[in-house]
Structure 1
């Protein structure tokens, strides 16, 4: 039995979720998928990034087809949220990004667990992607094992690389945070910040003794921070590296950070946990 045959075995029927904000493109992709992979079961379609995360975590599909440019969360941010909240012990989904742009270093996907499709999706390219995905699923036996470890690690590495790509155009990192409270603007030196925490469309700025709220999203703030000094450890948390005293790993592999100048512990998502390994 070759890999594509075993991937269509009813006992191993693969499921997929499509996230695409343009209805006609979503329907076209669904139709092409049915032709390229008749045994694939569509578990649902989402019109935006937030809905994609909700649907993926509810259905736990084997495959995610994510448009990179969507309302709300982008495809990359949706993938990050899904990976961080995915049930422990269950193989991560294989992710295919769909984009009309080439600034995401698409050639890097070729050798990774993450694939890509350019708009408009070409049937031959989709068929090639499906053969690759079927092989990955078939090679994991009962949809676990190597897919969860080897393929999953490559997926996490690729997402870390893409999410960490610089977007600031070479601008100098922030040196001071300007946080307003009524008529007062507090000038917080960047070296005093212990960590940043997302709070809807705001960001909490935590120093050793104070807390401020700034009117910016964490997504907008990240490109303005020095990535060597400030490490993202969760989609909603960025910590100053020198403020980390210890990284504690429990029996399930979950990591928490003990801080030098704050009493709370910070949870590290599986996406960023590999950063905390002994030298």
Structure 2
């Protein structure tokens, strides 16, 4: 029976990949899970899995660094949420990849490739991994998914579906067309992780999806208010960010 390790710092992502793999490759035995690259290296040495599914970006030792350490002993599969520019390197190399969240159709293709590799020993791919590492650091990597709470439920929300983020002292509200959710990450941290061309800061505590802006109006006090598509609610624009709407 083929065996595998999954390494991802987000439990939700590990669980989702496990479920998808169970659907498309029920014979695969997930014998270990790691929360970071250091654990992935240690658990690979201990359990010797046939495959290691490694999230590229993890705190501390990254998936790329872990891959350099274990690629001689296990077949490496990279898991990535937003490194689309690295996909080309994977396509032309011997290393495979899975885009987060795992798509059943794409994962099926990956599994077919991995089954063929079971009969051959892992390749030492230090040079190729180093090349991918350079590509990954060339461009900023923007978030594609938000892990947020809706009541007692934990949900993955595509960033493109978010209309705006708005923080208070404790939580940040994640508003979509159909529902709102909460995360603990403040707007100042989200600013570093979101594409600035897509999300505009219009207030110290507010980021709005530029594609969701329906218009801008002034209230009786002369304040600019952003009208968000699909919502009755309007978002205040602070003076520091009025320049964004001079052409509107």
TM-score by length of 1: 0.46
- Tell whether the 8 Å contact from 1:46 to 1:55 is kept in structure 2 after alignment: yes
Give 1:114's aligned residue: 95
- Tell whether the 8 Å contact from 2:86 to 2:136 is kept in structure 1 after alignment: no
Separation in 2, partners of 1:55, 1:97: 17
- Tell whether the 8 Å contact from 2:81 to 2:100 is kept in structure 1 after alignment: yes
The 1:15/1:156 distance shift into structure 2, 3 A limit, reads same
Give 1:49's aligned residue: 37
Give 2:108's aligned residue: 127
Deviation at residue 43 of structure 1 after TM alignment: 1.4
The 1:38/1:76 distance shift into structure 2, 3 A limit, reads same
- Residue number among 132, 136, 157 corresponding to 1:162 in the alignment: 132
- Residue number among 65, 84, 107 corresponding to 2:53 in the alignment: 65
Deviation at residue 117 of structure 1 after TM alignment: 1.2
Deviation at residue 82 of structure 1 after TM alignment: 2.2
- How many residue pairs end up in the alignment? 139
List structure 1 segments (4+ residues) > 4 angstroms apart after TM superposition: 164-169
Deviation at residue 60 of structure 1 after TM alignment: 1.2
Separation in 1, partners of 2:29, 2:130: 29
The 1:81/1:36 distance shift into structure 2, 3 A limit, reads same
- Local SS of the residue matching 1:105: helix
- Tell whether the 8 Å contact from 1:66 to 1:95 is kept in structure 2 after alignment: yes
TM-score by length of 2: 0.51
Give 2:6's aligned residue: 18
Gaps of 5+ in 2: 140-248
- Local SS of the residue matching 1:162: helix
Give 1:81's aligned residue: 69
- Tell whether the 8 Å contact from 1:36 to 1:127 is kept in structure 2 after alignment: yes
Give 1:224's aligned residue: none
Gaps of 5+ in 1: 1-12, 87-91, 141-146, 170-279
